[in-house]
Amino acid sequence: MPLRTASRWLDNAIRGFFTTGPANPVSRPIRNSTSPRVNSNVCIAKPYRRAAVRNRLAETGVIAVRRLESGVALHLTAELQANYQRFIERVRATREVWVLLGPDLRGAWVHSNDYVTEDDEPVCVHLVYSTAAYARRHATGEWAGMEPVSLTLDEFIDGPLRGMHEGGDLLGPDFNADLAGLEIEPIDLAKALLGEP
């Protein structure tokens, strides 16, 4: 059954997740083929889906990550889930994604609170926004020199999102002022933005 996405790489990546692993595997060797189950009480968008993808990647030897313990309160979990849903709705309506870019053309990112690699290195979470105002509120401190920049949805999917998928990184859509938010797989975000099941 053919997939209906706007981008051929995304078609291949989605197909790869369900058959043999990612279409463009990242070069992170795995030492063992086990990955812990995700605690369903922890704040993530799709706990069972994410666990399945991460376990699948671990089984294929592509990437190894380990879930960290998280003490996120349930009321905050609901708020962060609502922020994520608003992000999806706004981006689908406007067909643009905002990022913070510095003079060196690097974007804003944080270390994952939930995942580390097999070498105990935190996974990178790249921040993306549904509006310039949300991006601008994070342009403080070490990111004070960064400016909000918009990308069309197609540019975002074919450019930065593809690179994050290939690099094994995560995305942080519309993180709040305290830099809290859901850490989303690039492939899951692409499917949500394109209305894929």
For the chain, how many structural domains are there in total? 1
Residue 8 binned pLDDT confidence (cut-offs 50, 70, 90): low
* 20 inside domain: no
* 40 inside domain: no
* 53 inside domain: no
| pLDDT at position 42 over 60 | no
* Angle separating helix axes 8-18 and 186-194, nearest 10 degrees: 120
- 191: exposed, middle or buried (Cβ count in 10 Å: 0-12, 13-18, 19+): middle
pTM: 0.65
* 41 inside domain: no
3-state helix, strand, coil in the chain (%, to 5): 40, 20, 40
* Range of the structural domain that residue 94 is part of: 67-196
The predicted pLDDT at position 55 comes to 45
Task: For residues 20 and 75, give the distance between their C-alpha atoms in angstroms, rounded to a whole number.
Answer: 38
User: Per residue in 34-67, is it b (16+ CB within 10 Å) or e — as a string?
Assistant: ebeebeeebbbbebeebbebbbbbbeeebbbbbb
CA-atom Rg of the chain in angstroms: 16
Highest mean pLDDT among 29-33, 48-52, 129-133: 129-133
Mean pLDDT of the chain: 71
How far CA 191 is from CA of 13, 26, 84, in Å, comes to 11, 20, 14
Helix (H, G, I), strand (E, B) or coil at 9: helix
* 60 inside domain: no
* 18 inside domain: no
| pLDDT at position 58 over 70 | no
Q: For 69-117, write each residue's pLDDT tens digit.
A: 444 455 577 888 999 999 999 999 999 999 999 998 889 999 998 888 8
* 46 inside domain: no
* 16 inside domain: no
